[in-house]
Structure 1
Amino acid sequence: MLSLTSERRTPWHAIAAGPKMLVLLAATLGAFWIEGVGPILGFAATVAALYMPGGLVFARAGARMLAPVVPFVVVILAWHWWTGALAQGVVIVLRMVALIALANLVTMTTRLQDMLDRVDAALALLRLPQAWRRRLALAVALVIRFTPVLVQKGAALSQSWRARSRRRPGWRLVLPFALVAIDDAERVAEALRARSGEL
């Protein structure tokens, strides 16, 4: 559970974590300056092309990780269609999906420990005590790792509800989702204590 790194090797696996995280940061900042359906579509196509060196299996795995985003895409497009600003909605959706896909690509091709080391090195510039840096770096790395995991589990809970009831789940999934998150947090904490004695 601590690793979402793909076992299928790609050229991106050989690139160090630092450059990949910097590119992700720069792309995230730059994407918000891209306006117009054409340019943002080109950006999304470029991100999609980055999956191709890993083959169709790797690309499909990346596409599956985007499945939980579909409900948000539908809501955003429906709202902007209703308000008569569909083009703006398409830009927002393409930007969101492209950036999530790019973050997933970094996650799929980078070991957790490598990300942890890079974040720790960046925090060293703040001259914080080493113990604090390691904890902050671990927190950042775990957020990056577990965000897609929790999104997938939330989608699975929603699908399970729909399979058993015609009513919309809404707030009823808050408690089971919270319990899933707490259970995962406890398991991770136990694994970290067993491996490093920390936490």
Structure 2
Amino acid sequence: MRSLYVEGDSRLHRLSPRIKLILLIVVSLALFLTRSPIMLGGAAFAGALLYGSLGMGWREGWLRLRPILLTIAVVALATLMLNTVEEGVVVLLRLTTLMLVAAAVTATTPVGSFIGEISSAARPFERIGLVRADDIGLAVGLVIRFVPEVVSRYEILRQAHRARGLKLRPMTVIVPLTIQTLKSADEIAAAIDARGIRGHKPPSRS
């Protein structure tokens, strides 16, 4: 599977995964606690600078964000139609900033580090028997790894439509994309079970 991680030596690359995850949480909370278009615009500009400082090139950076940007545009347009212009702008800036910061974090943090940090954060809940920490870490890691895979498959389907001279329609893309993704998910689940990764048991409560 492809990875979202990009090799580099930026300041964000050098930060520990734990600090980056904490910063992402803080930024997310701050974005949803303000409704000022000016502040959100400044935050979006800062997020763009942060994302652009990773050294991956604007073309690759745009290709990574394009599917998410389209989704954000649809959400913002729906908000604009149902509410005020200001509300639509706030949603657009808020989600765009969050996307840029999250993309920067995932591009500078290996999946293994994500899994380790999430699993460590879930350990206290495992000790009281609520969750399995390793399963949560594994689930988060698989979600992150699946994002570029789904985008890649979408691009393949889009190019296949273009090669046949067919118009790209939602149903002709969503259905095969969903089937392919579910098939891959089943194969990965079977491989995980065959290796006994999910066979561990959480510690018993004393």
Same fold, TM exceeding 0.5? yes
Q: In the alignment, what sits opposite 1:29? A: 29
**Counterparts in 2 of 1:77 and 1:120: CA distance versus 1, 3 Å:** closer
Q: What CA distance in whole angstroms lies between the structure 2 residues aligned with 1:66 and 1:109?
A: 15
Q: What residue is the counterpart of 1:142 in the other structure?
A: 142
Question: Is contact 1:77–1:86 with CA below 8 Å preserved after alignment?
Answer: no
Post-superposition offset of 1:65: 1.3
Aligned residues: 195
Deviates more, 1:136-145 or 1:22-31: 136-145
Question: Partner amino acid for 1:165?
Answer: L
Equivalent-residue separation in structure 1 for 2:38 and 2:144 (angstroms): 30
In the alignment, which residue of structure 2 is the partner of 1:44?
44
**Conserved in 2, the CA contact under 8 Å of 1:18 and 1:118?**
yes
Q: Report the CA distance between 1:22 and its aligned residue.
A: 1.1
> Where do 5+ consecutive residues of structure 1 fail to align?
none
Letter in 2 for 1:94: L
* 1:165 counterpart residue number: 166
The 1:29–1:81 alpha-carbon spacing in structure 2 relative to 1, beyond 3 Å, is closer
Between the aligned partners of 2:75 and 2:166, the Cα distance in structure 1 is 25
Instruction: Give a deviation string over 1:93-137, Cα, whole Å, max 9, x none.
Output: 1211211121111111111111111111111111156x9221121
Alignment correspondent of 1:110: 109
- Alignment match, 1:101: 100
Confirm or deny: 8 A CA contact 1:4 1:108 kept in the other structure: yes
Question: Structure 1 residue 87: deviation in Å?
Answer: 2.6
Contact 2:51-2:100 within 8 A present in 1 as well: no
What is the CA-CA distance between 1:69 and the residue it aligns to?
Answer: 2.5
Q: Deviations over 1:161-198 (max 9, x none)?
A: 466333x623333320122212432454466578x652
Deviations 1:60-110 (A, max 9, x none): 433321101243344345445545722321221121121112111111111
Give the secondary-structure state (helix, strand or coil) at the position aligned to 2:9: coil
**Structure 2 residues without counterparts, runs of 5 or longer:** 199-206
> Percent identity among equivalent residues?
27
- Return closer, same or farther for 1:158/1:9 CA change in 2, 3 Å cut-off: same
Residue 124 (structure 1) aligned with residue 129 (structure 2): no
**Shift, 1:156, TM fit:** 5.1
Contact 1:47–1:102 (CA under 8 A) maintained in structure 2:
yes
**1:5 and 1:110 in contact (8 A); partners too:** yes
The 8 Å contact of residues 77 and 93 in structure 1, kept in 2 or not, is answered as yes
- Give the aligned partner of residue 62 of structure 2: 63
